[in-house]
Amino acid sequence: MRKLIPIAFLVLAILVFSQALWVSQFIRQERTNFQSSIIKELRQIINFHATEKFGLEDSENPNKQTLTFEDASLDTTINDQDAIAVYHLDTKNYGHLKSNFSELVSNVFADLALSQQKFHLKQVDSLFQENFIDFGQIASYKMLLLKNGEAFDSISYQNWNTNDTLLIKIPLGTEGTYSFEGSFQIKNSAFVRNLITSIGIAAFAIILVAFFIGWQLIALQKSKRKLEWKQKVVAGIVHDLKSPLAHVYTVLDFFSQTEQNELKKEQLTVAGSRVKLLTEKIAHTLSVFKAQDGNITLNIATYALREKCVELIEELQKTYANKEITTALSIPDNLQLKVDELYFDSVLRNLIENAIKYSSENVQLSISAEIGNKKIYLHIADNGQGIAREEQKKVFKEYYRSKNTTSKGHGIGLSFTKMIVQKHKGMITLHSELGKGSTFTLCFPKTIIV
């Protein structure tokens, strides 16, 4: 639980950082777009101002001026005494780009206006304030006219300073002598206003994720407390079983030593050994409850596989005396494994007993060992009722019970078996067909062999 809290905060931090990064990139892009719109507007104003002094007034509309262009060859002589200036422009160089020719014409008039001192920043500023649609987003600015890099005219709007400005440079004329420069400061809220909806949605999403994570952590905490309570209850019950079992074992041992009838003596001895085994399992169970994070400590010892299988089968034949059990055992006599004896007994007992329990009255049980180049395989097969394909992966889940079974159980055996097999660095698989039986295969590294 404690490990999940830093992860939850990390997820929230990543979400907040990603949103902040997106906002930063959005504002940067908006500043670039805003700069482009200022440049476009200023170019139009400069071109207009450069030409407005040289147009012919319309007698019908005094506010309208007209500029007239005529085609001519380079050797044409112009004797118009009313001409303001004469420039020869070779249109062959601009025929494929009409905008270049128009811009060149504007630059020609800019040269003329600047040389005759008819180009004034005050007029450019006035036109800019009147015509720029987003002028309200500008906090302050400063405009300069430069000749050979030296300013000869300037104008400022509001309290302009050099902090965080958009710098704009526009060349004027055809000779590269003159240029226009402007430094613009944008209002802090200019771009944020466009982000209010997006930021609101992002903030709501972050709050929703934070609420969901918090709710999940609270639910996990409750589940953990509930599980801890169950573990304490089970551990207490298991612990309380040790004393009665110890007493039963003592009584059985006493009667087995004093009993004269050999058959009864053997039965009492077997019963005593089973009680002792149960006591050892209780001790192991308590050690699991005490272990941190449910970690199981294995006590590795030599395990005679064939001998143990025979003992388990004989014991279960007595338990299920009402069934006819036929066993085919194919395990080498000298095959010994390095495993935890008590836990591996539980694995074999669960699988063999399930094979008998879920089979008909005539049980056909097959246990075989297969040694490969790098692995050892242990197959336990039966002729029982089988398990449906859609349930075969679920049977290893804790507390899962097949829908087709009528036998009593709690759905713990196979999940515990899988855990023990994995603890021994192995894996368990199932192959089953309804009506034909099941085969459980245990696979371990060959290093498990003594």
Quick: pLDDT tens for 116-163: 888 889 999 999 999 999 888 888 899 999 999 899 999 988 876 766
Tell me the sheet residues that pair with 391: none
pLDDT at 256: 82
Structural domains in the chain plus CATH codes: 4-187 (no CATH), 298-448 (3.30.565.10)
Could you tell me if 181 and 168 are in contact, meaning their C-beta atoms sit under 8 angstroms apart?
A: yes
List CB contacts of 439: < 8 A, sequence separation 6 or more.
379, 380, 381, 382, 430, 431, 432
Query: Considering only 96-105, 292-301, 306-315, 416-425, which range has the smallest mean pLDDT?
Result: 96-105
List CB contacts of 441: < 8 A, sequence separation 6 or more.
377, 378, 379, 380, 428, 429, 430, 431
pLDDT at 29: 83
Q: How far apart are CA 219 and CA 226, in angstroms?
A: 11
Percent of the chain clearing pLDDT 90 (strictly above): 23
Quick: pLDDT tens for 357-394: 888 889 999 999 999 989 999 999 999 888 888 888 88
Q: How far apart are CA 308 and CA 344, in angstroms?
A: 10
pLDDT at 97: 42
Residue with the two structure tokens 């030593």: 257
Is the pLDDT score of 78 beyond 60? no
Residue 296 carries which DSSP code?
A: P
C-alpha distances (whole Å) from 295 to each of 154, 228, 284 are 80, 15, 12
Q: Among 336, 347, 438, which residue's Cα sits nearest to residue 392? A: 438
Quick: pLDDT tens for 280-290: 777 766 666 65
More confident site: 355 or 321: 355
Quick: pLDDT tens for 207-227: 887 778 778 878 877 887 777
Residues 284-319 as b/e (b if ≥16 CB within 10 A, e otherwise) read: eeeebeeeeeeeeeeeeeebbbbebbeebbebbeee
**Helix runs in 259-392, H state only:** 262-290, 305-319, 341-357
Give residue 446's pLDDT band: very low, low, confident or very high (50, 70, 90): very high
Residue 449 carries which DSSP code?
A: B
Quick: pLDDT tens for 224-259: 777 777 766 666 666 667 667 777 878 888 888 888
Give residue 436's pLDDT band: very low, low, confident or very high (50, 70, 90): confident
Chain mean pLDDT for the chain: 79
